Amino acid sequence: MDQRTYIMIKPDAVKRGLIAPIIQRFENTGLVIERLELAVLTREQAAANYVEHEGKPFYEGLIEYITSGPVVKMVLAGPEAVMVCRKLMGATNPRDAAPGTVRGDFGLTVDANVVHGSDSSESARREIDIFFGE
């Protein structure tokens, strides 16, 4: 049974011209892109996505960053899509991410780590609804 997950290429990666190489990495796993859109997130979308961080010292900076420019929003589907994408993305902090992972190869800092991905099936459903209204 196929699983769906949400992936977002963040503003730093879009500005650096990394859309194609990052998408290629996900396509190389055999996952299928069901939806893909280039967009600037609204503050409401960003706040809904990062609600668990509300009130933390880095929250406002996170919202400002993720709404600062275009992102690429994607829904990917395939066997164990969440786990496959999490492994491919690598550790949140690029310094801890293994070479060959998206963050290990392209990430600069924990804040500019080029990509966001759902951490569970439940998160994927919630995030797909936030960003695609499904």
Hey, which residues are catalytic here? 116
Residue 75 φ/ψ, nearest 5 degrees:
-115, 120
Short-list 103, 81, 78, 96, CA closest to 12 = 103
Short-list 5, 3, 8, 82, CA closest to 38 = 8
Output the six-digit token pair for 68. Answer: 């600062």
Strand, coil or helix: 7: strand
Cα dihedral 32, 20, 61, 87, rounded to 10, equals: 50
